[in-house]
Amino acid sequence: MKKLTREAQEPLIPHIRPSTRNKIRKYIYGGVFFLSIFILYRALNNNESGKKGIGRNGDFMEYDPRKNGPKLEDPVVNMIKLDIYMEAQCPDTSRFVFDVFNFKRHHFCSRFFRQQLKKAWDILGNLNRIELNVIPFGKARCTEKGNDFECQCQHGPTECEINQLMNCVIDRFGFPHRYLPAVLCMQGKYSLDEAMTCVTQNFPAEYNRMRECAGGQRGRRLLALSGQKTASITPAIDFIPWIVINGARNSDALYDLTQNACEAMQPMPSACKEYLRSLQ
């Protein structure tokens, strides 16, 4: 059999000189070698980088889960849910209420709001660990009348108007740090006009809107919705204010809301530790 020459073995480039073909081979082999090294390097370092691209509308941001993700050794920080069921004209004084067996001393809404809720929110509100809900309704009653509601409140029509104003402000501004100063101010006021001064102080541009809401169909509907929330709790409320922490009624919070809220937080923040030390 005739032995093939190198030219016969490489028919595709017969016109290239042998020395030139050797150079081409070296470049090809060198390129393949470096490409293999690069692929191997990427494979070995892919798991070490731990970085992913995330973005929107063409934006790209480098993300490292080791830096941005939660650390396993960090303690779990819990939120607490605080619900306050109240009405606008609870008396501001303490009194003795007689039941069949003994006397019970009750502090009512206005005193609780000024001495307990305000203090607790001033100390703990900026920690972002309290989901606060204020529900102005109390021992009222609302009856549906067509597309409207007719409501009667425990302390008369004026209390219904101020309850409705509170609900309008809460619905309008949503977050406790926005609405709570105005609601605290309204608590215990003797007329709607007097309660509206709290709107003027906190939201002057909203005066007309809130006045219309408080005296209109929307205010009555919001009051009725608060009534649905109040009627849904178990056991049924028989006292105002009714304080619920993490779904359970807490009567001790009537006398020290800050302490009871702190005790529900785990781990306890430093602000709570300082407050509890001040009680000793």
Cα–Cα distance for residue pair 150/138, rounded to 1 Å: 16
Give this prediction's pTM: 0.69
Residues 19, 25: contact at Cβ < 8 Å?
Answer: no
Q: Give the model's pLDDT for residue 18.
A: 62
Q: From first to last of the 280 residues of the chain, give the pLDDT tens digit.
A: 555 454 445 555 555 566 666 667 777 777 777 777 777 777 776 554 444 443 333 343 443 444 444 444 445 678 999 999 999 988 654 443 433 333 343 346 778 998 999 999 999 999 999 999 999 999 999 999 999 999 999 999 999 999 999 999 999 999 999 999 999 999 999 999 999 999 999 999 999 999 999 999 999 999 999 999 999 999 999 999 999 999 999 999 999 999 999 999 999 999 999 999 999 8
Cα–Cα distance for residue pair 133/126, rounded to 1 Å: 16
Q: Give the model's pLDDT for residue 126.
A: 93
Q: DSSP string spanning 137-160? A: TTT-EEEEETTEEEEE-TT-HHHH
Cα–Cα distance for residue pair 156/140, rounded to 1 Å: 9
Q: Give the model's pLDDT for residue 105.
A: 38
Architecture of the domain whose range is 80-260: 3-Layer(aba) Sandwich (3.40)
Nearest in space to 136 (alpha carbons), one of 110, 162, 114: 162
Residues 226, 136: contact at Cβ < 8 Å?
Answer: yes
